[in-house]
Amino acid sequence: MKLSGAGAERWRVRVGFLVAEGSVSKWIDRAAHGLDAVLEDDGERRRGDGYYTDQGRGIEGRPVVGLLFWVKADDVGAAATEATRAARRALGDGGEELQLYDVTVIPEASVSWPDDPPYPGMPH
């Protein structure tokens, strides 16, 4: 599993940045290559343990670039801090063009894995 940070627990994180109109493809490319460079392999393997990028629109209607990956940290605050630092390292110097939009932190125990059993069906 490729991840960033050191700590007792693993956390699934997504960090979103507002970017300038028309620059999304540049930031998506930078994010994908940058994550590969800044994340370290801990030697463990599990289906669904990768890192990803996404894009969309923020509440203000501005483009958002998202980075989804794993971090290790001792608590949720440290996980959010490590996630933000790693995402900024992956994107490189964005200057004022990159504005932090949101950070989502999920403890590993709450992550749904591809090999987990499906949720029970809803009664009719």
- Please name the residues in contact with 120: beta carbons below 8 A apart, sequence gap of 6 or more: none
* Residue 40 confidence (pLDDT) above 70: yes
Residue with tokens 């894995």: 113
Task: Return d(Cα 94, Cα 99) in angstroms, integer.
Answer: 9
What topology is assigned to 2-65+76-108 in CATH? Alpha-Beta Plaits (3.30.70)
Comparison of pLDDT for 100 and 115, the residue scoring more? 100
Could you tell me where the beta strands, DSSP code E, fall in 19-98? 40-41, 52-57, 63-73
Quote the pLDDT of residue 101.
96
C-alpha gyration radius of the chain: 15
pTM recorded for the entire structure = 0.88
Residue 95: its pLDDT value, please?
Answer: 60
For the stretch 49-99, pLDDT in tens is 789 999 999 988 999 999 999 999 999 999 999 999 999 999 987 666 789
- Residue 110 pLDDT > 70, yes or no? yes
pLDDT value, residue 49: 75
- pLDDT value of residue 1: 85
Question: What confidence tens digit (pLDDT) does each residue in 1-16 have?
Answer: 899 999 999 999 999 9
